[in-house]
Amino acid sequence: MPFKDHDPARPIAYLAYRALTTSVFAAAVAPLWLYAKASGRGGDLTHRLGRYPPSLFAGMPADRRIWLHAASVGEVSVAAAIIDALAHALPGWALILSTTTEQGQAVARETLAHRATCLYAPVDFIGAVNHALGVVRPRVLACIETEIWPNWLMAARRRGVRTALVNGRVSIRSIGGYLRIRPLMRAVLAGVDAFSMISDEDAQRVRRIGAPLDRIVVNGNAKFDRLAHAVDPAIRAAMQRLFCVPDGGPVFVAGSTRGDEPAMMIEAFRGIRQRFGDALMIIAPRHLERVRAIAERLRAQGLAYHFRTELDAGGNGRRAPVVILDTVGELSAAYSIADVVFCGGSLVPLGGQNVLEAAVWGKPVFYGPSMEDFADARQLLERSGGGVRVENAADLARAIIDCLTVPGRAEAMGRAAAATVPIATGAARKHAAVIRRLALD
């Protein structure tokens, strides 16, 4: 039974959270508004206050709307796979996709605007989420991975909106923080209708922080489902021209680097260049604000570089041995020209990145010991022989040199890596089925 605003049984932990967020919002809204106006981003702030223009929803069926929320770029790829499945499962329903970050919104609008109405998510202030829900009027609100926003979910519950956590993830790193606020989590999760989790471990963790056991299912990782669509020989040919890939010179792509990993990649690349003098490294930070720091470190090490945005197919070809990928959405294309790949977030304790994004291109994949967020994909790669764990920069350089110098090893590892991708797919359809059940219930 939905809570009412006057319900005296509403948990004290949630009331405290609501009071805190109201106070923070009241103090921050004026400076944010001034900043938004000065920077020309008032429209973005309007979205974040839940005040969407009615034109966004013109023509939508009033009683057949599903709202998916994704935080950033990685979650948008999950949303895309689920949206594909929902288009078949619920034809004629309107799909709304919100994001938190600017990069996520940019990718959502570029890739999914023809399938979903894309907008920024409201901040988790009760006034903003209430206004947003009143305008969007979804039948189902499905939050992706770890997007647990107390005011938003509680407000949806009070309005009778069905709610779900899909492709749900509770990492080993975050469980401690959730347990410290377990009374709040238990109050919020008690009102969520379904938890469609990635793995058994995620299911156990969400249960520990307060999710009702009878609403939890395990349906796999939808992040893997659209990988096959990425493989296109034309992409590889275009990337080879753009990056002026050397004949015989190996290409090392270090993807989604985080923390101190760029320094480790530079160290490893220097070791690789001692054996392969014409090697090329393409380094892609997980967050674009890191590109300048990487450039400074390369200069300090005496390594010439280009930014990807300095290259074009019309003659400004690559000459330097390093390219910094300073664009959004091109990492998969860069993997297409790699001979070997390192997936970041794994030599630092941040849970890793999606190793199958490189595997689908038939590339040997290397990663560090911290792969908790993609343990299922790591296990598939290791069983097949397509992935190798390394411990540090020197270990990475040695492993890559071994891979590239033994005849046929890189190709065999790449074939084994690619063969794991079909095994990992199919989760998006299962998560969509959970949403469909709630929508039609």
Looking at the structure, tell me whether residues 309 and 430 fall in a common domain.
Answer: no
Looking at the structure, tell me whether residues 290 and 381 fall in a common domain.
Answer: yes
Question: Which tops the pLDDT comparison, 249 or 276?
Answer: 276
Q: How far is CA 145 from the centre of its chain?
A: 9
The whole-number pLDDT of residue 328 equals: 87
- pLDDT tops 60 at residue 231: yes
The whole-number pLDDT of residue 249 equals: 82
pLDDT band at 33 (very low <50, low <70, confident <90, very high): confident
Q: Is 388 contained in some domain?
A: yes
Residue type, 254: A
pTM across the whole model: 0.85
Q: Is 4 contained in some domain?
A: no
Q: Is 5 contained in some domain?
A: no
Q: Is 96 contained in some domain?
A: yes
Q: Is 6 contained in some domain?
A: no
Q: Which of 20-34, 35-49, 88-102, 181-195 has the lowest mean pLDDT?
A: 35-49
Composition of the chain by helix, strand, coil, percent to 5: 50, 15, 35
Tell me the residue range of the domain where 353 lies.
229-424
* CATH code assigned at 144: 3.40.50.11720
DSSP characters over 125-179: -HHHHHHHHHHH--SEEEEETT---HHHHHHHHHTT-EEEEEEE---TTTHHHHH
- Asked if 104 and 75 count as a contact pair (C-beta separation under 8 A), the reply is yes
Looking at the structure, tell me whether residues 265 and 413 fall in a common domain.
Answer: yes
Q: Look at the chain and report how many structural domains it folds into.
A: 2
Looking at the structure, tell me whether residues 209 and 233 fall in a common domain.
Answer: no
Q: Is 1 contained in some domain?
A: no
Looking at the structure, tell me whether residues 143 and 111 fall in a common domain.
Answer: yes
Of residues 207, 226, 206, 250, the one with CA closest to residue 75: 226
- pLDDT tops 60 at residue 7: no
Looking at the structure, tell me whether residues 45 and 120 fall in a common domain.
Answer: yes
User: What CA–CA distance (Å, rounded) separates 107 from 99?
Assistant: 10
Looking at the structure, tell me whether residues 361 and 382 fall in a common domain.
Answer: yes
The whole-number pLDDT of residue 3 equals: 40
Q: What is the pLDDT of residues 71-117, one digit of tens each?
A: 998 899 999 999 999 999 999 999 999 999 998 999 999 999 999 99
Across 173-193, average pLDDT: 95
Looking at the structure, tell me whether residues 381 and 255 fall in a common domain.
Answer: yes
Q: Which of 28-37, 190-199, 270-279, 391-400 has the lowest mean pLDDT?
A: 28-37
Looking at the structure, tell me whether residues 158 and 21 fall in a common domain.
Answer: yes
Looking at the structure, tell me whether residues 436 and 409 fall in a common domain.
Answer: no
Q: Is 415 contained in some domain?
A: yes
- pLDDT tops 80 at residue 36: no
- Asked if 235 and 269 count as a contact pair (C-beta separation under 8 A), the reply is no
Q: What is the pLDDT of residues 323-348, one digit of tens each?
A: 999 998 899 999 999 999 999 999 99
Q: Is 258 contained in some domain?
A: yes
pLDDT band at 246 (very low <50, low <70, confident <90, very high): confident
Q: What is the pLDDT of residues 377-416, one digit of tens each?
A: 999 999 999 999 999 999 999 999 999 999 999 999 999 9
Looking at the structure, tell me whether residues 131 and 251 fall in a common domain.
Answer: no
- pLDDT tops 70 at residue 316: no
Give the C-alpha distances (Å, rounded to integers) separating 418 from 17, 200, 231, 387.
46, 25, 11, 11
Q: How far is CA 13 from the centre of its chain?
A: 30
pLDDT band at 150 (very low <50, low <70, confident <90, very high): very high
* CATH code assigned at 360: 3.40.50.2000
Looking at the structure, tell me whether residues 148 and 259 fall in a common domain.
Answer: no
